[in-house]
Structure 1
Amino acid sequence: MADEPSWDEIFTGSVRTDESGKPNGSGMPGAAADRGEDARRDPRAPGAQGGSATGSGSGGGSAVPAPPMSRRQLREQREEEERRRGRSAKPARPARVEAKAVGAAPAAAASEAAPATAASKAQRTKPTRPPRVSRWRKPGTWILIGVLVVVLGGGTYGVTTLYKQLQPMVASLVGGKPSDDYTGSGDGTKVEFTIVSGDIGSTIASKLAKAGITKSAEAPYKLLLADTEISFQPGTYSMFKKMSAQSAIDRLQSDKARITTKLVIPEGTSLNGIIGLIASATKIPSAKIKAAAADYKSFGLPSNARSLEGYLFPATYELEPNKTAHAYLQDMVDTMETHLTDAGVPKSKWEHTIIFASLIQREAGLAADFPKVARVFQNRIDQGMLLQSDATVAYGAGSTDRVTTTDAERADASNKYNTYVHKGLPVGPISNPGDIAIQAAVKPATGSWLYFVTVNLDTGETVFSNTYAEHQQAVAKFQSWLRAHPDYQ
């Protein structure tokens, strides 16, 4: 309202009055001088233009002092000046301390507040640098570091095991591409791995990954491509889960990792005896093995072969697990074919050679006597004589564990293996011969012997004779030995 006191009147306690003594808002005595002083200090204040408050004006008369500016007018003036300078500063509220200062003009207070306002604006508009975030502040990294610190107390084994488990997480935290390979030689979980004949590098790599041995097929395959000298042997190997590609390949090259069951087949063992040995070693029922052996034509034998008897080479075999009965028998047949070929026997003579060798294997005792026994049989065949082998008669009678026979057995013409009745070699092999017997059949010793008899079954001592009379003396010696050893009868 017009008659309200100004802020100066409120703070100084003075009220301006007109000639009638009523307040007129003109200030206390001396106010004009004060206003002139304010104008001299602040050239922006009204009345500062044209000199002092008592100077001459344009009309030549005395200058009339300008009325004092209120705080609102000062604020509006300051805002107008800032707008002219192209600023848009927020109006600053005058500090109360400026209003209380005795004798301080409002214009002076405004001039002092302006720099502070500009400084505040400069501080607000100054570009700020974004805070730097350290990569070590990622929460996952701190968790991993904390776990590692805890596990350090477990020693080298604990740290190594933890690294294997957390390596993929470490790679993801630091932004690396996950590896396609494991580290180390596995987690201890055993697994059987089989390589079959015909498997190539890519096949083996795929099977390793599928079995969970390697992390991927690519990792071992890259190693195989880099080293073309690497080769694998068919078989079953003891491996571990989560092996590195290099450790997996190295283990497949080691014979110690190969899983086998040793099977020893002595020379002269019959087919029935071999079936029993295979069944015992592999836990395959004998009936399945007999059924497989009965299909002898499926093993690639000569067309004149009558059975699988004689074609299973006697040796020590390492039977791999998870194979069929046919596969085990085929391995033995393949081995026999190899030895026949090495001995220079053509396939057309395999049957004859095996029959002859099987007879020598059962009748001869000592290795040195094999060629001599072969010569006796060959001389008798050449002269059209009966071979008169007790071993062939016993085999035809269904006994493969003895070489002695009875008079009735030797007289039995229904026995096709009875060489006391039928001339020439028996109709088929009577055992599975080894290398010495095969070599003797191929190359008999030189001599004119027509008879032989083993006079001591414990030592294998054998007497060879050219005449029947000499032979009878040797037979008498053998009969005497048998009477002294009734367990052999």
Structure 2
Amino acid sequence: MTQTPPDDTSGQPRSRREAREAERAGAAARATEPATPSNEEHPFARLGETGGTGETGGTGESPTLAWRQQQYPSRQKPPKRRRSLKGLWVTLIIVAILGGLGATAYSIFQPQIAKLVAAAEPNDYTGNGSGQVVVTIKSGDIGSDVATTLNKAGVTKTYEAFYKLLLSTKPSPVFQPGSYKLAKKMSAASALAALEDPKNKVQLTAAIPEGTAEKDVLSILAAATKLPLADLTAAAKNVSAYGVPPEAKTLEGFLFPATYTFTPGVTASEVIKTLVDRSLQALDDAGVPAAARWKTVVLASIVQKEAGPEASDFGKIARVFLNRIAQGMPLQSDATVSYGAGSTGKVQTTPAQRADASNLYNTYAHTGLPVGPISNPGDVAIKAALSPTPGSWLYFVAVNLQTGKTVFSTTFADHEAAVQQLDDWCKASPENNALCQ
């Protein structure tokens, strides 16, 4: 079978030999031309279209460089891109939402979270703690009350630590009312031991001697309680608030002499009321009728100031004063004159003081009992005023100021002899004479 070779460009048929020769000539011509990428236009083919002449086209770039960039696109510089903040804003918004959700969740579940955290920690401190704090146990407080007080004061770490210790301690501790010096951050065991140690009890103690006058009582109370003297004085001026007899213009005579223990934080009014209540109790215990309280206290206050250490003399002194009142005689008590003159200590007086009728407490110038008490009497003086010793004495004088020995007389002559005994004693030694001045 024969094949008809393709026509040449002239359109005339060729022989087989001519076709082969033409094919060889075309192959040789193609071998001398540069390789052209498959299916792509030759990089120089469109130079004329760009209007370029010579070696460069209209773009001002080298044709060779353009061709190489097409052949090796990885070597081209990537175009610069404008950074977008959109992703950053999205991230920030998400974080804010999550943060808000977290805060909301914490506020809702905070009690549960706190319990979980607390459960993971010890509920008790260790050791004896440090610093100092005063805690007060009130009358009637039970174990749970004490546990609460200690925890609120910062002594124990938790209520449970101390209360569970109390439940496991046998026999159960008994707490005495009062104030105690403890430390901060003590273990429950250390706190319990400290409360049971009497040395840790805070003692605000005021000791009021018998026969002490009101102004001196207030000074003692101020020193013991650390309350300002001005506060105590102001509280004492509110006389009608304490239930004393209506004749009383001051609390003189109704601030009972005794030893008192107060707790820190006590008020001035509470302190004063404590002493007055104790005085009214003493009067009731002695059997003094309410209507006789005033005169009994006035007389007892003079007896208390005039008497020495011998208790049996109190009733006799009270009898002397009552006998003199019954006979219309002035009491002639140096103690009352001295009080009216402004002295609450010594009972000696001068002739000028004894002659001063302007002193309403001057029982040389005025008959009967003075206008008010001159000291705060104790139980012995109150009982002596209520139930004086039977006798006819009208005079008495201490003949030994060191021992307080007192001579009681019915007649003035006997009294003069007793006064001479006192003068002799005063002259016996400089020490004695110093006491007589």
| TM-score bin (small chain) | 0.5 to 0.7
**Secondary structure of the corresponding residue to residue 342 of structure 2:** coil
* Structure 2 residue aligned with 1:479: 423
CA gap 1:388/1:365 in 2 versus in 1, 3 angstroms: same
Deviations 1:141-178 (A, max 9, x none): xxxxxxxxxxxxxxxxxxxxxxxxxxxxxxx89xx955
Q: Distance in 2 between matches of 1:347 and 1:200?
A: 38
* Structure 2 residue aligned with 1:420: 364
Please say if residues 260 and 318 of structure 1, whose CA atoms lie closer than 8 Å, have aligned partners that are also in contact.
yes
Please say if residues 419 and 425 of structure 1, whose CA atoms lie closer than 8 Å, have aligned partners that are also in contact.
yes
Q: Distance in 2 between matches of 1:371 and 1:223?
A: 57
| 1:465, distance to aligned residue in structure 2 (A) | 0.5
Gaps of 5+ in 2: 1-115
* Structure 2 residue aligned with 1:461: 405
Deviations 1:234-254 (A, max 9, x none): 432112333455654564454
Q: 1:303 aligns with which of 239, 246, 251?
A: 246
Q: 1:194 aligns with which of 113, 116, 136?
A: 136
CA gap 1:283/1:187 in 2 versus in 1, 3 angstroms: closer
Please say if residues 371 and 445 of structure 1, whose CA atoms lie closer than 8 Å, have aligned partners that are also in contact.
yes
Task: Name the TM-score, length of structure 1 as normaliser.
Answer: 0.57
Q: Distance in 1 between matches of 2:249 and 2:141?
A: 34
**Secondary structure of the corresponding residue to residue 454 of structure 1:** strand
After superposition, residues 150-165 of structure 1 pair within 5 angstroms as none
2:150 is equivalent to residue 208 of structure 1: yes
Q: 1:342 aligns with which of 246, 263, 285?
A: 285
CA gap 1:231/1:444 in 2 versus in 1, 3 angstroms: farther
Task: Name the TM-score, length of structure 2 as normaliser.
Answer: 0.63
Q: Distance in 1 between matches of 2:142 and 2:366?
A: 53
Q: 1:393 aligns with which of 337, 347, 352?
A: 337
2:306 is equivalent to residue 356 of structure 1: no
| 1:220, distance to aligned residue in structure 2 (A) | 4.9
* Structure 2 residue aligned with 1:182: 124
* Structure 2 residue aligned with 1:93: none
* Structure 2 residue aligned with 1:274: 217
**Secondary structure of the corresponding residue to residue 453 of structure 1:** strand
* Structure 2 residue aligned with 1:156: none
CA gap 1:421/1:177 in 2 versus in 1, 3 angstroms: same
* Structure 1 residue aligned with 2:266: 323
Higher mean displacement: 318-327 or 392-401 = 318-327
**Structure 1 vs Structure 2: percent identity of aligned residues?**
52
One-letter amino acid of the counterpart of residue 151, structure 2: A
| 1:221, distance to aligned residue in structure 2 (A) | 5.7
Q: Distance in 2 between matches of 1:421 and 1:431?
A: 20
CA gap 1:380/1:222 in 2 versus in 1, 3 angstroms: farther
CA gap 1:246/1:187 in 2 versus in 1, 3 angstroms: closer
Q: 1:382 aligns with which of 309, 326, 341?
A: 326
Please provide the CA RMSD for this pair.
3.4
**Secondary structure of the corresponding residue to residue 336 of structure 1:** helix
Please say if residues 125 and 157 of structure 2, whose CA atoms lie closer than 8 Å, have aligned partners that are also in contact.
no
2:313 is equivalent to residue 369 of structure 1: yes
Gaps of 5+ in 1: 1-171
After superposition, residues 72-87 of structure 1 pair within 5 angstroms as none
CA gap 1:254/1:438 in 2 versus in 1, 3 angstroms: farther
After superposition, residues 14-25 of structure 1 pair within 5 angstroms as none
CA gap 1:480/1:274 in 2 versus in 1, 3 angstroms: same
Q: How many residues align?
A: 317
| 1:394, distance to aligned residue in structure 2 (A) | 0.9
**Secondary structure of the corresponding residue to residue 301 of structure 2:** helix
One-letter amino acid of the counterpart of residue 409, structure 1: Q
Q: Distance in 1 between matches of 2:290 and 2:198?
A: 34
Q: Distance in 2 between matches of 1:178 and 1:351?
A: 69
**Secondary structure of the corresponding residue to residue 181 of structure 2:** strand
After superposition, residues 15-164 of structure 1 pair within 5 angstroms as none
Q: Distance in 2 between matches of 1:373 and 1:311?
A: 21
| 1:364, distance to aligned residue in structure 2 (A) | 0.9
